[in-house]
Chains A and B, each alone.
Chain A
């Protein structure tokens, strides 16, 4: 049994966007805070800290997870991905991000990293979603600017484009 004492900082190592990272955290430290404060990964946005808004969504072993409801010590030895994992080169957008821009899928951008991350995971599971399915997936996020219509268009357009370019 692994026992990590309260109030002491423990070493944690995991893979973040394909790169091995290391840091120290007390058991009570949320993964969202660890990513931001210990690793400087401010692309992970924090808003409600109760799992409702979805801004802090990351991928844990490829599955979407609220990083505000995950303790940093739980990431130990696992694979964590943020919105940075979407594009292979810094400063360049991937097709989904490009599509969000084209379809006005964002305004202030605060909710966007979480939404992009879970949209990628969603499209991975469901390459040809219906509008209803996209809307249900988006119900796991709060956006106070756009009204979601642009995001729905952006995600559906990306799915269509990917299907056209992938040999069946």
Chain B
């Protein structure tokens, strides 16, 4: 229950961090809030000889408003994003989903980018990024690139990040005029890992549904025109395609049922909020 010994590095700025990352590339971990990383270190599920702590990098603690996207820096906490007065208007899906992330006591330090970099299949933020078709900014000492959400997350706790790269920001597209958004999840207790999380974006008859916690990574499906009578069949097909497996919390059949039931609920809710 204690982590293995490691060197602790606290960079002065982003360049400092990227240089350290390049130097130590095969044996280093980046920590922001540490809410996912440190439990794994305590359990020794994960060992590293070097830890770069970016939580104090003020230049990465920001919410930047663009006309089409909101960019959130790597050191910005979930609590600060939730408290951002424009959240409900600009990113309605995030304002619905983020209260489900952990707890008041963990969102104070947990970061938005850290959750996306960690890429847990049941996490809310990777699901939001996937369904909104957001993107991830990856920087290294040699280059900067921007990857679409679906290119970034490649599987369970797996991403396209190279060892010398750092997720320095994520970008969420702002609310589309006329679209409705909804989110729901089933967890054992509020704030626990989702057994199944679903998000919907509805514009007219077009329905976009994202599911987390069932497949290896958040999975998004588009139906350009979905009539009310077709929803149940569409959700049933999607639930079977997602696969899903049995674990201590739920079996695959229950997860498919959640996709069908919660899926219908969020599609109806999103439809109601759209105009």
Seen from chain A, the residues whose Cβ lies within 8 Å of a Cβ on chain B are 1-7, 26-28, 30, 33, 49-51, 54, 57, 60, 63-66, 68-71, 73-74, 118, 122, 136-137, 139-141
Contact A140 B106 (CB under 8 A): yes
Give 5 CB contacts A-B under 8 Å: A64-B104, A118-B105, A136-B103, A139-B189, A140-B103
The answer on a CB contact under 8 Å between A28 and B35 is no
Contact of A26 among B5, B35, B103 (CB under 8 A): B5
Residue from B9, B35, B105, B108 whose CB has the most chain A CB atoms within 10 Å: B105
User: Which of A3, A4, A51, A122 is close to B106, meaning CB atoms less than 8 Å apart?
Assistant: A51
In the bound complex, how far is the Cα of B99 from the Cα of A139, in angstroms? Answer: 12
Q: CB-CB < 8 A to A69: which residues of B? A: 34-35, 38-39, 42, 109
Contacts of A122 in B (CB 8 A): 104
Contact B5 A1 (CB under 8 A): no
The 8 Å CB contact of B103, one of A1, A3, A137, is A137
Q: When the two chains form the complex, which single residue of A27, A54, A66 contacts B51, counting CB atoms closer than 8 Å?
A: A27
Q: Is the CB of A6 within 8 A of B190?
A: no
Give chain B's interface secondary structure class: loop
The one of A6, A60, A68 that contacts B7, using a Cβ cutoff of 8 Å = A6
- Judge if B251 is at the interface, Cβ distance under 8 Å: no
Q: Is the CB of A49 within 8 A of B42?
A: yes
Beyond A50-B1, A140-B106, 13 additional pairs, beta carbon < 8 A = A4-B7, A6-B49, A28-B4, A49-B2, A50-B42, A50-B43, A51-B106, A65-B105, A69-B38, A71-B8, A74-B53, A136-B99, A136-B190
CB of B12 closer than 8 Å to a CB of A: yes
**Complex interface: chain A residues within 8 A of B182 (CB):** none
Check A63 against B108 for contact (C-beta < 8 Å).
Answer: yes
Give the size range of B's interface with the partner. Answer: 35 or more
Taking Cβ atoms with an 8 Å cutoff, the residues of B that contact A are 1-12, 16, 20, 34-35, 38-39, 42-43, 49, 51, 53, 55, 79, 99, 102-106, 108-109, 189-191
- The reply to whether B10 and A1 form a contact with Cβ atoms under 8 Å apart is yes
Inter-chain contacts of B12 with A (CB < 8 A): 1
Contact in complex: B190, A3 (CB < 8 Å): no
Q: How far is the CB of B243 from chain A (nearest CB, A)?
A: 28
Contact between A6 and B5, CB atoms less than 8 A apart: yes
Of the residues A2, A50, A71, A137, contact of B104 by C-beta under 8 Å: A137
Q: Within the complex, what minimum Cβ distance (angstroms) separates A135 from chain B?
A: 8
